[in-house]
Structure 1
Amino acid sequence: MDALAHADRRPLKVLMLGWELPPAITGGLGVACEGLLRGIGALGGIGVDFLLPASPGIRGDYPAAVRIVELDGCEDPRVGARAQGAYIAYREKAARYAAATLRALPGLGDFDLIHAHDWLTFEAALAIKRATGRPLVVHVHSTEHDRAGEHRTNPVIAELERLGMQAADRIVAVSRYTGHGLVRNYGQSADRIDVVYNAGRSRQADPPPATTPADGCVCFIGRITEQKGPEAFVEAALRIRERVPDARFEMAGDGNLLPLMRSLVRALGLSEAFSFPGFIDREEVTRLLARSRVLVMPSLSEPFGLVALEAIEAGVPVVLSRNCGLAERVPSAICVDPDDIDAIADAAIGLLTDPARARARALAAAREAADLDWTRSAAALKQVYGVALDTATRQRIPLATC
C-alpha cells in the first residue's frame, strides 16, 4: 500500500525542525528552509509545523499549510558569557533547543513524520523519534567536514551528525557532491540518500539583465571563514588588477578571517580597490549583485551555493569552485580548483575583458538554472517522505515465524 495513501483523507503532517528563517539569518540554511516551506505550500497535500528558536521579525506571510512555532528558552540567559560562534555556545544552544521541542511536543498535535535540518536540530530529532516512534528524515545542507575541513573537524559535532544520519529513515542531501561526502566521511549507504536541490528566490519569466555595469565590481559574498576560500579571492584580486587595473572588489560577509583579510588587502596594496561591507541582508545582496560584473565563489567545499544561484538569476556571470554542488545543475558555469589562484584570476579576467563572452555565460547559466524551483523541490521531498514512511512501516512489521 502506498505510504501516502492516507493523504487522500488528510494532508501529510510533518514536524519540521529548523534553526532560522529570514530575515534573522546567518547564512543559506534559513533561506533554504523558507523556500521549502513556500514550495510545500504551493504543492499542497502537506501540512508543516516548523519549530525554531523564538526570533524577532519573522515574517508571518507563510502559506496556510505552514505553522511557524517559535520556541522560548533556546537562548542562554548568560548573554555575552561566551564568544559568538564558539563551539560550546552552539552545542549548548542545540541542547536547549532539544529541551524546548520536547516541552512543546504535547501541544502540537499528531504528526506523521519528523524532518530535521542540519546538526543543530539532530539532538532534538533523536529525542522526538525516541519519544514518538515517528519516522525521521534528516536534511543535510552542510556538514562539519564542509565547514571545518579535514584537519579542523570537531569530532563531537561530526559524531552528532553521524548519529542523526544513522537514526534517519531517509537522508536528504542538497547535491550529489554532498551525498558523496556523506558516504565518504560518515559511512552512510548511498541507497539511503536522496538528492533534493535547492532553488532560487523565484522562477523568472524574464531573462536576466542585458548588461552588467561597466564600472562594476568583482564580488565575494559569504562567511569569511576557511571553508569559503576568502584568501584565494584576495590573492586572485592581485593578479586581476595586474591585467585589469581599474578592477574593484567587494568582500561581503563576516567571520573569523575578516581581520586577516583586511590585513592581507593592505599588505598587497589593494586597499583602494577593496571594500568590506560586512554581513549584508538579502536586500543588500540584491543591490550588490546589481553592481557586480562577476561573482567569485572559491569555496573549499560548497554543498550547494545559494548565493551563486542568486547571482545567476541576477544576470551576473559566476566563477565557481569545482567543489560546488550548484555546478551539477548549471554545467555552463566556469568551475576552477579553489587552490589554483591563477585559474581563478584567469577565469575572472576572461569575463571582465570580454563582455560578449560574459553575457553568453550568464544567459546559458540562467537557462540551466530556470528548472530549480522550490515547488519542484517540495515535490521531490514529498517522494522522500513517502519512502521514509514505507521504510518505517516495513521495519515495524514483525517477521513471520514457522
Structure 2
Amino acid sequence: MLMLGWELPPAITGGLGVACEGLLRGIGALGGIGVDFLLPAAPGLGRDYPAAVRIVELDGCEEPSAPARSQGAYIAYREKASRYAAAALRALPGLNDFDLIHAHDWLSFEAALAIKRASGKPLIVHVHSTEHDRAGDLCVNPAIAELERLGLHAADRIVAVSRYTAQGLARHYGQSADRIEVVYNAGRPRPADFPPAPLPAPAPAPADGCISFIGRITEQKGPEAFVEAAARIRERVADARFVMAGDGNLLPLMRSLVRALGLADAFSFPGFVGREDVARLLARSRVLIMPSLSEPFGLVALEAIEAGVPVVLSRHCGLVERVPSAICVDPDDIHAMADAAIGLLADPAQARARAVAAAGEAAELDWIRSASALRRVYERALGATKTERAAAEVC
C-alpha cells in the first residue's frame, strides 16, 4: 500500500503527523499490510517503525524560496505540495508494488491525483481537517477548497476522523454518507507495549497548577474565547494562572488582549511546544480548555484526558463522540466555558471523577483498532475496484 503524508514526529506542526505515526504503528502491529509512506525529506526523523512500514523521504521538496514565501503561506505550501507531487511521481519506479493509495489531507491530494492517474489504483482520501474547519466559512481559500473537492471526488473511499467531520464533508462538498467511513484517532503511540497497556488512574491535579490552552493560535482554535473566559475565571479564582501554548497569526493580538484585560501577570505564552513539553505542561495543568470553533477530532484533548487532566471542550469537537463524560460548551458561550472551568477548580472531587470517567472512555481508543478499521476500508475499496473491472470486462 502507498501512503502519502506531510509530516511525522518529531518534525510536526500539529496533529496530522501524530495521527499518521499512530496509524503506521497500528498497521505494523496489526500485520498483513506493507506500507511505503512518502514523506517530504525530514532530516533527523530517527524513528524506528515496524518492519512492514518503510518511510520514503523524497528529495526535491525543499522549502520555497524567499520570494515565494513573501507571497504568503498558501503560495509557499502550494508550491511545496506541487514539488512533493512531482517527487512522488519520480519515486514510483523504485517503490514496492502497491494495490491502493492512501492520502492524508489536502497537501498530499495533488500527488494522490497524479499517482492515481498514472497507476489506475484505487484511492483512499483521509480527512483530518478541511479548509472549512481551518478558516471558517467566511474566510475559505477557494483554491484549497477546490483541491479538497477534487481529491474527494476522485476518491474510491473517504475516511473521516469523526462523524462531525463526515457531516462537514456532506455539507460543504456534497459527499454522500455511503462513501465515507469514520475511523477515530487514538492517543499517543507506545511502541514498546503494543498492544496498549491499561492506562493508570489519573493523578490528582496540582493545586498550584494552571489552566491551559494548547494549539495553533488561529481563528479555528478560538483563542480569544479562552482569554475572555480567563478574565471571568480570574474574577472568581484570584490565584488562577493560565498558559496559552502555541503559535499562529493571532498570537500578537492575544498578547495585546491579555494586557488590555489586566491579565499579564496571570498569563504565559511559551510559543509552540513539542510533544515532551506538552506532556510536561499537562502534568501541571488543572484544566484544559479547548474552545475551537471547529475541531475534527482533538488529539491534544485526548492527550490531556490520558494524562488525567479534566477538560472543557467545544461542542464542535469530534472527540466528544467517544468521550461523552467530557464537559462540552458552545465555543461562543464565554460564561458557560468559564463556569465549567470554575466548577472543576472549586470541586477537586468532581474534577477527578470527570477525569477518571473520561480516561476510561478514552481507553477504548487505540491505534490497532484504528488500523483494523482502516483495513476494512481498504478491503471495501479493493473489492469495489475488482467488481467494476469484472463488469467492464463483461461489457
- Cα pair 1:36 1:378 within 8 Å, conserved: yes
Displacement after TM superposition at 1:392 (Å): 1.5
**After alignment, is 52-61 or 214-223 more displaced?**
52-61
Residue 127 of structure 1 is matched in structure 2 by: 114
1:258 to 251, 266, 276: 251
Residues 240-287 of structure 1 show CA distances to partners (whole Å, capped at 9, x for unaligned) of 000101000000000000000000000000000000000000000000
Q: What is the Cα deviation at residue 166 of structure 1?
A: 0.7
> Cα offset for 1:30?
0.1
Work out which of the residue numbers 148, 151, 156 in structure 2 matches 1:169.
156
In structure 2, which of residues 140, 159, 168 is the aligned counterpart of residue 181 of structure 1? Answer: 168
Q: Deviations over 1:271-321 (max 9, x none)?
A: 000000000000000000000000000000000000000000000000000
SS in 2 for 1:294: strand
1:379 maps to which residue? 372
- SS of residue in 2 equivalent to 1:397: helix
Distance 2:180 2:90 in 1: 31
The aligned residue for residue 117 of structure 1 is 104
Does residue 329 (structure 1) correspond to residue 316 (structure 2)? The answer is no
Aligned AA for 2:340? A
Counterpart amino acid of residue 169 in structure 2: L
1:38 alignment partner in structure 2: 25
Quick one: which of 357, 361, 378 aligns to 1:368?
Answer: 361
The equivalent residue for 2:137 is 150
In 1, the alpha carbon distance for the partners of 2:215 and 2:102 equals 26
| RMSD between superposed Cα atoms in Å | 1.4
Which residue type is aligned with residue 259 of structure 1?
A: P
Matched residues in 1 for 2:82 and 2:279: separation? 35
In structure 2, C-alpha distance between the alignment counterparts of 1:205 and 1:177, rounded to whole Å = 28
Give the aligned partner of residue 347 of structure 2. Answer: 354
Partners of 1:209 and 1:305 lie apart in 2 by: 19
Number of the residue aligned with 2:338: 345
Q: Deviations over 1:337-387 (max 9, x none)?
A: 000000110010000110000000000000000010000000000000000
State how far apart, in whole Å, the 2-side matches of 1:341 and 1:372 are.
30
| CA distances 1:180-230 after superposition (whole Å, capped 9, x unpaired) | 000000010110000000000144524333311000000000000000000
Give CA-to-partner distance per residue, 1:131-172, whole Å, 9 cap, x none: 000010000000000000000001110111011011111000
Aligned to 1:90: 77
Do the aligned residues in 1 keep the contact of 2:199 with 2:306 (CA within 8 Å)?
no
Tell me, in whole angstroms, the C-alpha distance in 2 between the residues paired with 1:77 and 1:339.
Answer: 37
Runs (5+) with no aligned partner, structure 2: 191-195
Deviation at 1:75, TM superposition (A): 1.7
Identity percentage of aligned residues? 81
The counterpart of 1:273, out of the listed 266, 271, 281, is 266
Cα deviation for residue 101 of structure 1 reads: 0.2
1:54 corresponds in structure 2 to 41
Partner of 1:21: 8
Structure-2-length-normalised TM-score: 0.96
Separation (CA, whole Å) in 2 of partners of 1:167 and 1:88? 24
Equivalent residue for 1:190? 177
Task: Determine helix, strand or coil for the equivalent of 2:69.
Answer: coil
Letter in 1 for 2:239: D
Q: Partner letter of residue 296 of structure 1?
A: I
CA distance in 2, matches of 1:84, 1:354: 51
| 2:295 alignment partner, one of 289, 296, 302 | 302
SS at match of 2:102: strand
Residues 247 and 138 from structure 1, CA distance in 2 versus in 1: closer, same or farther, beyond 3 angstroms?
Answer: same
Residues 211 and 227 (structure 1), Cα distance of their counterparts in 2 relative to 1, 3 Å cut: same
Aligned residues: 389
Contact 1:312–1:362 under 8 Å retained in 2: yes
State the 1:110 CA deviation.
1.3
State how far apart, in whole Å, the 1-side matches of 2:58 and 2:166 are. 31
Stretch deviating more after TM superposition (78-87 or 122-131): 78-87
Q: What whole-Å deviation, never above 9, does each CA across 1:17-71 have from its counterpart, x for those lacking one?
A: 0000000000000000000000001000000000010012212310000000000
The yes-or-no answer on 1:292 pairing with 2:269 is no
Q: Distance in 2 between matches of 1:102 and 1:229?
A: 39
**1:42/1:238 Cα in 2 relative to 1: closer, same or farther (>3 Å)?**
same
Give the distance between the partners of 1:74 and 1:400, measured in 2 at CA. Answer: 40
Deviation at 1:73, TM superposition (A): 0.5
Quick one: structure 1 residues 396 and 206, their matched pair in 2 at CA, closer, same or farther if it must change by over 3 Å?
closer
TM-score scaled by length of structure 1:
0.95
SS state of the match for residue 181, structure 2?
Answer: strand
How far apart, in 2, do the equivalents of 1:164 and 1:281 lie?
31
Q: Deviations over 1:94-146 (max 9, x none)?
A: 11110000000011131111000000000100000000000100000000000
